[in-house]
Amino acid sequence: MTDAAPSLERLKVRIFADGADLPGLLEMAARPYVSGFTTNPTLMRKAGVADYRAFAREALRAVSDRPISFEVFADEPVEMERQAREIASWGANVFVKVPVTTTRGQSCAALVRRLAQDGLQLNVTALLTLEQVREVSQALGDGAPAFVSVFAGRVADTGRDPVPHMAEALRIMAPFPRQQLIWASPRELLNVFQADAIGCHVITVTNDVLKKLPLVGKDLGAYSLETVRMFFDDGQAAGYRL
């Protein structure tokens, strides 16, 4: 058996950079294989973003030619809708992230339907179940272009295989060609190739995973030797004695 080397050049899945660190975003914007960007309030808080609008303005100055998603942070449908409409006004390449439910578990499908029918480009986020995919896909219908973000990484965290799960999500969404499935919260670079193999449209990848892309196709023998040398060098540097 041979260790077949994967290739970035053959990938059909689109890679979106996921993060809210502005220098990191600018770095990723310069990479030709990054075709879009996503953010969320958790990533923004972690990056120390204090002014939502100011951050968005800076991000949009750097990214005007590719999709970028900004998320509402309210929990009441009326305020979520107000925020969604403001965010949508920031640019033609903006997609508004709306969570699948409120924090009380109340479905946001009615809000999603209303916004989609009004032509807002949406990225419905935090989906995990296939029932949620069905409800959201029906709510989006044939409206404006939209993304459906299924958190495959969190599915995997529960011990479930995300590959058949995501393949079924694609099947559910197939009647609506303006909807695209996002493989969200990947845990490792392998997920990019798994997403590609099933025909997933997009995968969101954080900067730390994106930085592993140069490893794609690396000779495994050479990588093994590098690992052996790393252990040896660290043992020497630590001055261990037996």
Asked if the model's pLDDT at residue 171 lies above 80, the reply is yes
56 vs 40: CA distance, rounded Å:
11
Question: Are the CB atoms for 152 and 170 separated by under 8 Å?
Answer: no
The overall average pLDDT reported for the chain is 94
Every domain of the chain and the residues it spans: 10-215
Between CA 80 and CA 60 the distance in angstroms is 21
CA dihedral of residues 129, 200, 147, 164 (deg, nearest 10): -10
Q: What is the pLDDT of residue 22?
A: 87
Phi, psi for residue 66 in degrees, rounded to 5: -135, 155
Q: How confident is the model at residue 227 (pLDDT cuts 50, 70, 90)?
A: very high
Query: What token pair was written down for 135?
Result: 């409800």
What pLDDT was estimated at residue 177?
Answer: 97
- Give the count of beta carbons closer than 10 Å to the beta carbon of residue 11: 16
Residues serving a catalytic function are 97
CATH architecture assignment, domain 10-215: Alpha-Beta Barrel (3.20)
d(CA 67, CA 86): 17
First to last CA, the chain: 40
The pLDDT assigned to 3 comes to 61
Return the C-alpha torsion angle 225, 231, 233, 237, nearest 10.
180
**CA 165 – CA 116 distance, rounded (Å):** 25
Mean pLDDT, range 63-77, rounded to an integer: 96
